[in-house]
Amino acid sequence: MPRTRVVILQIGDVHFPEASRGRSDVDLKDASFPSALIGHLGGNALQAVTRSVQAVISSNKCDAIVLMGDLTSRGDKQAFWRCLQFLEQAFLRKGVTPILPDRMVVIPGNHDVNREDAKSPNLEEKFDHINALLNKAGMPEIKIDRSPVIRISKGAAALRIFGTNTCVGCGTLRWFPDLVREKLITTYDAAIAEAMSDSDQRKILDDLYETLDTPMVVDALIASLHDQIKSTNDFTIVSGHHNLVPQATPRIAPYAEMINCGRLRDALLGTRRKVIYLHGHVHDDPIHVITNPNNKSGALISIGAPLMTDGFNLIEIEFAASTSSALGCRVRKYRLKNGVVAEQPSTEIPLALDEQTTLSEDHRKMLEFINEKRMAYGWEVLEKLKFAQDRMEEIADDLTWQNKISVERYSGVPQWVFKRAY
């Protein structure tokens, strides 16, 4: 029986339109250098990465695309819509398996929140324009207290992708005593009215609002996510703009991290499942595996995506053919360097170490044979154990993901070299 693989394309913060204006990779030290020549010295990063994503979609069977938010900057509604249109035209309905809009998750980032809309005391209201646009595009809406779910099923294997809104507190005003607050808003409103240009106005707004971003999810969402994950046997991926652990670069800012990420983290670990968490925001690509020694069956695998102008991740989840449980996750990293997107060494994370402690008779036989010989060729295993080639391949994958053996895969299965893992 062939093994099943679900492939998810993870794309980080876009920050449109700045990204489209080009961040050509030229070290420009002479401001008076003719701009007409600069374009011929360094390519546009967004265009290069877009072409590479299109090539990956064309040659891989991608099942879904997850965008990590921050499609725009400073809550620019027009730019958000243009970015969504750009993504739709560039990536959807293409490739070996056409991707439909309902297989694309777009979660909001702090920069997608419009600062004027954020003044409303109704927390949901500032996401209305985002949800209206997602709805128009046929993509799942992101409410603050419930997650949209995409279900992908292939044979006996199934996977669910949940989108979470971690930007509920973004753009909200810090509470001051009424008198101070009134005066502060009046002063800022007057400064905005007097601002000579849009950029001056933005600077004033940034000054008032940027430091008041408060990443968080509403408590009801945590409970609902926990219950939904517990109630299904499908493998789970949760996506949110903000990370669940502090970023590596020290950040001096109030509320720099999600203020209730500890509670969300514990709730996801409390499902006693292996859960993958995809995020953006930090413009970096850290990978963390969070475990609790008192809860060996649970683990949280957090995977960050870089800025879209730096590249993207292809997340492959492999399922065992016989049991349909997730065996492992491979993060394939495509990164832009010197104008070219190239695949870097991937990161492989086993997902079934504790769940699959009971091996089948065939698994045990092959493991014993390899352990005894220390090293065996594929043809030796086939001859000794009388397996069909695809059965041997399947068992080899299972044992590799469980770190019980290593395999050097040459052209034909009989030429493969199996080695014991210790």
Nearer to Fe ion, 16 or 319 (CB): 16
Nearer to Fe ion, 55 or 248 (CB): 248
CA distance 6 to 161: 11
Nearer to Fe ion, 13 or 63 (CB): 13
DSSP assignment of 347-366: EEEES-TTTT-S--HHHHHH
**What's the one-letter identity of residue 137?**
A
Q: Total residues at the site for Fe ion (CB under 5 A)? A: 2
What is the Rg, in whole angstroms, of the alpha carbon atoms belonging to the chain? 24
Q: Which of 9, 14, 63, 70 binds Fe ion (CB under 5 A)?
A: 70
Q: Which of 3, 6, 7, 13 binds Fe ion (CB under 5 A)?
A: 13
Nearer to Fe ion, 213 or 394 (CB): 213
CB of 284 to Fe ion, least distance (A): 11
Question: x/- string (CB under 5 A) for Fe ion, residues 25-64?
Answer: ----------------------------------------
Q: Which stretch binds Fe ion (CB under 5 A): 65-73, 77-85, 100-108, 115-123?
A: 65-73
Q: Which stretch binds Fe ion (CB under 5 A): 11-19, 59-67, 203-211, 231-239?
A: 11-19
CB of 265 to Fe ion, least distance (A): 21
Sheet strand arrangement including 4-11: 104-106, 64-67, 4-11, 311-319, 326-337, 340-350
Say if strands 405-408 and 417-420 run parallel, antiparallel, or are unpaired. Answer: antiparallel
Q: Which stretch binds Fe ion (CB under 5 A): 7-15, 20-28, 358-366, 399-407?
A: 7-15
CB of 281 to Fe ion, least distance (A): 6
Question: What is the crossing angle of helices 361-373 and 389-401, to 10°?
Answer: 80
CB of 276 to Fe ion, least distance (A): 21
Nearer to Fe ion, 148 or 304 (CB): 304
CA distance 68 to 70: 7
CB of 190 to Fe ion, least distance (A): 30
CA distance 173 to 125: 15
CB of 14 to Fe ion, least distance (A): 9
Nearer to Fe ion, 83 or 225 (CB): 83
CB of 63 to Fe ion, least distance (A): 26
Closest CA to 332 of 86, 48, 54, 53: 53
Nearer to Fe ion, 205 or 351 (CB): 205
CB of 206 to Fe ion, least distance (A): 14
Q: Which stretch binds Fe ion (CB under 5 A): 66-74, 186-194, 359-367, 390-398?
A: 66-74
CB of 335 to Fe ion, least distance (A): 17
CA-to-CA dists, residue 359 to 163, 196, 317, 387, angstroms: 35, 71, 20, 16
Nearer to Fe ion, 70 or 213 (CB): 70
Q: Which residues contact 60 (CB under 8 A, 6 or more apart)?
A: 7, 95, 96, 314
**What number of other Cβ atoms are within 10 A of residue 142's Cβ?**
23
Q: Which stretch binds Fe ion (CB under 5 A): 35-43, 70-78, 156-164, 268-276?
A: 70-78
CB of 15 to Fe ion, least distance (A): 6
**What's the one-letter identity of residue 393?**
E
CA distance 325 to 274: 11
Q: Which stretch binds Fe ion (CB under 5 A): 6-14, 76-84, 229-237, 287-295?
A: 6-14
Q: Specify the long-range contacts of residues 100-103, CB closer than 8 Å, at least 24 apart.
A: 100/138, 101/137, 101/138, 101/139, 102/138, 102/139, 102/140, 102/150, 103/63, 103/64, 103/65, 103/150, 103/152
Give yes or no for residue 257 binding Fe ion (CB under 5 A).
no
CA distance 253 to 266: 25
Q: Which residues bind Fe ion (CB under 5 A)?
A: 13, 70
